Homo-oligomer: A and B are copies of this chain.
Amino acid sequence: MKKNRHKKRHTELNTCQWRGHLWLEGRSGTFLGYGRIVLLERIRDYGSISQAAKSMEMSYKHSWDLLDSMNRQAGRKMVETARGGRQGGGATLTLAGEQAIETFWRVHRQFQSFLDRMTEELDGDVCG
């Protein structure tokens, strides 16, 4: 009976799991974090900064502040904007923008693997 209880405790390990947040810190605070990466992805999807911001319920000014912060810290533009034309311009990601997205999710995947490994290695005693 005691043995069973012990076994049960160990098979219930997934009641506990390691979780975390990750960001890339630059010269002036956060350079790349979840919100910034999703903003870049939305700009890629919508071809428009204002529509990307709107889809995230973010003010246009705030989205520009984030882009400006990323541009300055990367030392190059993340997004290329074209003014004028019938559509009133548009926005496309630069190579730097694409690289930022790729780098962030690549490290994020490794971070998730790390967290999963730590969860698997958890001593059943810790989480009751």
A interface with B by C-beta (< 8 Å): 15-27, 31, 73-76, 96, 99-100, 103, 107, 110-111, 114, 118, 122-123, 125-128
Q: How many copies does the complex hold?
A: 2
Q: Which partner residue on chain B sits nearest A99 by CB separation? A: B126
Question: A7: shortest Cβ distance to chain B, in Å?
Answer: 16
Q: Which partner residue on chain B sits nearest A74 by CB separation? A: B128
Q: Across the interface, do B127 and A31 meet the contact criterion of CB distance under 8 Å? A: yes
Instruction: Find A125's partner among B16, B22, B25, B99 (CB 8 Å cutoff).
Output: B99
Q: Across the interface, do A18 and B24 meet the contact criterion of CB distance under 8 Å? A: yes
Please report the C-alpha to C-alpha distance between residue A127 and residue B99 in the assembled complex, in whole angstroms: 10
State whether A15 and B20 are in contact (beta carbons under 8 Å apart), knowing that A114-B111, A123-B103, A126-B100 are contacts in the complex: no
Q: Across the interface, do B100 and A110 meet the contact criterion of CB distance under 8 Å? A: no
List residues of chain B with CB within 8 A of the CB of A24. 16-19, 126-127
Question: A80: shortest Cβ distance to chain B, in Å?
Answer: 17
